[in-house]
Amino acid sequence: MKPSERGILSEYDFKRTGVKVGYGLMCLLIALIVVSMLYPFVNTFLNSLKTTEEFFAFPAPFFPSKWLWHNYSEALTLIPIWTFLKNTLMIFAGTVVFALLFIGMAAFALSHLRVPFKKWVTLFFLSTLMIPSATYLIPNYLNLQELGLLNSYWAFWLPAGANAFYLMLMKTFFDGIHKELFEAARIDGANEFQCFVRLAMPLSTPIVMTLLIFYFSATWNDFYWPSLVMLDKSMYPLATGIYKYVVYPNSTIQWNVKFALLALSMLPPLVFFLVFQKYITRGLNVSGVKG
Amino acid sequence: MSQEAVARSAAIAAKKKFNWQLWGLLFVLPEIIIFLMFLWIPIVKGVVYSFYNVDFVNGNSFVGLQNYRDVVSSEDFWMAIRNTLYYMFLCVIIGFWVPAVVAIAVSELKRFQGLARVAGYLPSVIPAIVLYGMWVWFYDPIGPINTMLTSLGLEQIDFFSKGMSMVSIVIMETWQNFGGAVLIYIAAIVGIPKDLYEAAEIDGASVWQRIRSITLPSMKPLLILMFLLQIINTSQSFQAQMAMTGGGPDNATLTYLLLMYREAFTYLHFGKATAMGSMLFGVMVVLSFLYLKLQRRSETA
């Protein structure tokens, strides 16, 4: 057996009964965990197709007796889900454009250009990492209010670039690109902006994908902050809509319809995840190493 | 002649240098403005506002330490601190060791390792608010968990009672979040040189001994880091509490941040809320200072 193929256990260990039994138990435990991970999703989906009586039947049947797709059409009339979805996508798109442009430019400058007072500028950016966002969330809200940005997409687009962690990730990546590449481009008459757009960004697809995924899950997940910043119902992103109208203590929506709504709103991120799975796990490693 | 050429090339170089600096400035300027507007100004304002009575109609007025005095003298404040500490404690007891153990186990799987990783990470993908909705039903008195318990002949559990509700939330959040941590740990475990295990095995180390003296020590820096991140994150928790129990029953799940947001956006006491924020900020600064100090000491040691 090649050394790279072994883990903590070697082939030799498996000849011992104690190890065999332990390993079997461990596999069983992992299988149980996997089932407990998947069960809620399956259960949510199947429950969303049951009648109310079936939903509350005791003991509840696992499969609905008749697949009641009608719950979904009822769910769609209950909240303006398309408006919410549009808002989520608008926020996501603008966030990504602004964040990548500003963070990318700053990271590029810190990595490959001469910036006056570079040390101080870097400190200016990175020292915000020490300050937890929760402590300035309320003044941030008051600040947006004074700037007149409440209830508009700009409240999400403009601050998107204010993230020292992503700036650091991007700068580290740019550091890995050879300087000679840009020098060659400069000799060929490219200005710095062209270097950035035509060379640095295309070469940084992995880190850009990672940031895309981070921003996607943040936009898709965040429900509380938008519920403060967006004042009109017509401006809510999906998660906020679900929070305000579906999931709150003492909500009165019927459970089967509620589950149809929940199933609907977890479908897009599920698809997104399964498509970009490779990048997501890699991105986790990037962020994990950096802490 | 040659002197002139040198002078000219020096002038060109100086111009180029100036150009470079200009480009650099041009590139960082937008980001500097954004950081200033959306991070530094709010951070400073947060501290300033905590000494003011914030009033949108009549204007702000300076009140000195009144906000701090009001906050500290309220009973909810101490209740919230107690709840937050209890919550952090539960997260360590219930949640911290799970991903590390699962990561070691999964990394030993010969087949279906990919499936286990993806399945574990799945709950982190779903919007948190959807999970809260799902779990309110799972924890329901007639929900699936209690149905299972009764069919096994066990007592029902009231998951949202005063004593249980915080535990229920921690269990749910462990279920939700541990997949991401597992992936991070696995990355570290994969990086451990396999020769170490080989050598230990030849020296007669048992499986447990190998885990205890090779795997865990290699993971130690990461474990410490994850522990700190968990402490920082859990000290700021409020979303699950807000969406699932609304801080109840009888304030049993009222965390520090939940109280802060309640002061700000329910009672519109922005001054008091920013005072709470500043206090949290102070604690965080002290903690990170201690961490740096500890780290430096372990480096010199």
The whole-model pTM stands at 0.81
Is the model's pLDDT at B301 over the cut of 60? no
Is the model's pLDDT at A243 over the cut of 60? yes
- Whole-number Å distance between alpha carbons of A291 and B229: 8
User: Which uninterrupted H or E stretch holds B52?
Assistant: strand B52-53
ipTM: 0.78
What residues does each domain of chain A span?
1-37, 79-279
Kindly state whether residues B238 and B293 are assigned to the same domain. Answer: yes
Is the model's pLDDT at A93 over the cut of 90? yes
Is A132 touching B (CB cutoff 8 A)? yes
Which candidate from A30, A221, A258 shows the least CB-CB separation from B116?
Answer: A30
Cβ <8 Å between A221 and B17: no
Q: Determine the distance in angstroms separating the CA of B199 from the nearest CA of chain A, rounded to an integer.
A: 11
- Whole-number Å distance between alpha carbons of A240 and A81: 11
Report the pLDDT value the prediction gives residue A287, as an integer from 0 to 100.
53
Cβ <8 Å between A7 and B232: no
Residue A133 DSSP class:
G
Per cent of chain B over pLDDT 70 is 94
Kindly state whether residues B134 and B30 are assigned to the same domain. Answer: no
Which chain A residues touch B233 with a CB distance below 8 Å?
A: none
Is A120 touching B (CB cutoff 8 A)? no
Kindly state whether residues B250 and B138 are assigned to the same domain. Answer: yes
- Whole-number Å distance between alpha carbons of A7 and B215: 10
Cβ <8 Å between B121 and A280: yes
Q: Is B237 helix (H, G, I), strand (E, B) or coil?
A: coil
Mean pLDDT, range A98-125, rounded to an integer? 89
Mutation pick from B34, B178, B254 vs chain A, by most beta carbons of A within 10 Å, is B34
Kindly state whether residues B30 and B173 are assigned to the same domain. Answer: no
Instruction: Determine the structural domain holding residue B4 and report its residue range.
Output: 1-49
Cβ <8 Å between A33 and B102: yes
Tokens describing residue A150: 């409440």
Q: How many residues does chain A have?
A: 291
Kindly state whether residues B172 and B239 are assigned to the same domain. Answer: yes
Kindly state whether residues B21 and B169 are assigned to the same domain. Answer: no
Kindly state whether residues B222 and B79 are assigned to the same domain. Answer: yes
Is the model's pLDDT at A157 over the cut of 70? yes
Count up the domains in chain B and report the number. 2
Q: Determine the distance in angstroms separating the CA of B4 from the nearest CA of chain A, rounded to an integer.
A: 24
Kindly state whether residues B43 and B112 are assigned to the same domain. Answer: no
Q: CATH: 1.10.357.10, 1.10.3720.10, 3.30.1490.20, 3.40.50.410. Which one for A79-279? A: 1.10.3720.10
Kindly state whether residues B277 and B215 are assigned to the same domain. Answer: yes
Give the Cβ contact number of residue B66 at 10 Å. Answer: 15
Kindly state whether residues B289 and B158 are assigned to the same domain. Answer: yes
Q: Sorting pLDDT into bands at 50, 70 and 90, what band is B160?
A: confident
Q: Is B62 helix (H, G, I), strand (E, B) or coil?
A: strand
Kindly state whether residues B64 and B44 are assigned to the same domain. Answer: no
Report the chain A residue with the minimal C-alpha distance to residue B187.
A285
Residue A151 DSSP class:
T
Q: What share of chain B is helix, strand, coil (3-state, %, to 5)?
A: 75, 0, 20
Which chain B residues touch A33 with a CB distance below 8 Å?
A: 102, 116, 119-120
Report the pLDDT value the prediction gives residue A250, as an integer from 0 to 100.
67
Q: What are phi and psi of B53, to 5 degrees?
A: -95, 105
Kindly state whether residues B203 and B259 are assigned to the same domain. Answer: yes
Q: Determine the distance in angstroms separating the CA of A44 from the nearest CA of chain B, rounded to an integer.
A: 7
Report the pLDDT value the prediction gives residue A289, as an integer from 0 to 100.
45
Is the model's pLDDT at A2 over the cut of 50? no
Q: What are phi and psi of A281, to 5 degrees?
A: -65, -35
Residue B277 DSSP class:
H
B191-220 residue pLDDT tens = 888 888 888 888 888 888 888 888 888 888
CATH number, domain of B242, equals: 1.10.3720.10
> Angle, to 10 degrees, between the axis of helix B165-190 and the axis of helix A255-290?
40
Q: Sorting pLDDT into bands at 50, 70 and 90, what band is B2?
A: low
Is the model's pLDDT at A4 over the cut of 50? no
Mutation pick from A30, A92, A157, A167 vs chain B, by most beta carbons of B within 10 Å, is A30
Mean pLDDT, range A170-178, rounded to an integer? 86
Q: Round the average pLDDT of chain A to a whole number and report it.
A: 82
